[in-house]
Structure 1
């Protein structure tokens, strides 16, 4: 069996006296899309920050292609193949589309940056058309496309995406999710996706995890999570995203079909959770 591209092994993260993640273990295989679901203050953002090296675990380890990267700096992780698409896109509004794209290659020292730029333009023809346009004058969907292209400029093996559909119109959301599928299927780039629209996220994902106050509550294939009654009630009822922020909805309590191993042996103190 091949080594996972990314693996958390019993990762715990503390913010001072408060515990944000507790003994979290997860895997992501090469070329796959994995989504992370959970309510507010469940630990989703902390998980992504831990992957990118923005926070360090208090316990456990993070592995990339079998190598322990727990103590690696963020730039070293980027050079090793990690990239990110941050929440709210965060393009540089006063810079052109092309200059925004080139910032994504800032860690590269090779001479093939222009070749990669042409590859990104081929993948996203709209960006080529708008390459001289100021990024701040683009629509939200175009800016998200630009954020994807900027991440691809580092030639990543894994892109972490934080709420990529936030604030976008429904028709644009569908296009953004299509882009995520294409990035995985056509380019072979893995995607770790934190997304409030749980139903749509699970439609493009291969596997998913549900966090509850810093612990993995449920894990399985996307199809299994879509069929899980507790997950459906907590995260997919009433339009998907609506339930995700409701702390009163507990997938452990609601699900009838969860395997015994899915439920934490201890219930964490809600006061310690951060996201």
Structure 2
């Protein structure tokens, strides 16, 4: 399947400190890709670079065959890239419906109300709460609202930053089920930045592991789940720094398969 988004040897600095170093990755059309890594590994910088919040020092970002490295954030949103930020960041003093309509702020077409109806059909709970203030909703409901708000822009790719953070385990499973449904039923590609590595890789098709701004591993989710370095660093021990896993190298896991 063709790549919808590509990083080609992307390097990003914050002042004199490198945040990404020659990162290459791709997200296929209709795919879910998980981005893993410890603190300060470059996950948030990768998302900010996709959204145009920060610009690369070197390398390029491509979306649907076009070089978007110098595009503004609004232009990227209009082209089909949306985000679900960490901690949801809904507008607490606005109603559910007004929050959803904020997701369509870059649109100039006349189908916004039709899209709103589609979101309510996809998330019936939001339809029930449309007049409720977003700040009075539960964490799981706010995450659902953040998903709906992102979908209101009509995206082809949604970047999701830690969508299960701070949620109870039973709600985490529901949120990841929503991620899978957005991809499966709506055909939207997803970049999933998630601390729960095991669950994230169960939802994703492929994954990338970042360590201090570089790609340490990449491959199919099945291969990453089975890889001893990933298992040591992430599975069964909480989220430990990737450096704790000896022997991890910047290679495609598929190249190591017999």
Task: Compute the TM-score of the two structures, normalised by the length of structure 1.
Answer: 0.89
The match for 2:217 is: 218
Cα deviation, residue 235, structure 1:
1.0
The match for 2:239 is: 243
The match for 1:153 is: 152
Distance 1:67 1:57, change over 3 A: same
CA distance in 1, matches of 2:138, 2:231: 32
SS of residue paired to 2:108 = coil
RMSD value, Cα: 1.4
CA distance in 1, matches of 2:48, 2:139: 24
Cα deviation, residue 236, structure 1:
1.1
Unaligned runs of 5+ in 2: 254-258
**Deviations 1:7-59, CA, capped at 9 Å, x for gaps:** 00000001111111000000101111101000111010000000000000000
Instruction: List 4+ stretches of structure 1 deviating above 3 A.
Output: 260-263
The match for 1:8 is: 7
CA distance in 2, matches of 1:116, 1:90: 21
CA distance in 2, matches of 1:55, 1:14: 9
Task: Compute the TM-score of the two structures, normalised by the length of structure 2.
Answer: 0.95
CA distance in 2, matches of 1:57, 1:248: 25
SS of residue paired to 2:39 = coil
The match for 2:256 is: none
The match for 1:73 is: 72
**Are positions 1:96 and 2:118 aligned together?**
no
Unaligned runs of 5+ in 1: 264-275
CA distance in 1, matches of 2:51, 2:251: 28
Query: Equivalences for 1:100-119 in 2 at 5 Å?
Result: 100-119=99-118
Is the CA contact (8 Å cut-off) linking 1:11 and 1:22 kept in structure 2?
Answer: yes
**Are positions 1:175 and 2:174 aligned together?**
yes
The match for 1:203 is: 202
CA distance in 2, matches of 1:186, 1:153: 15
The match for 2:233 is: 234
Distance 1:223 1:262, change over 3 A: closer
Is the CA contact (8 Å cut-off) linking 2:161 and 2:192 kept in structure 1?
Answer: yes
Distance 1:12 1:90, change over 3 A: same
The match for 1:267 is: none
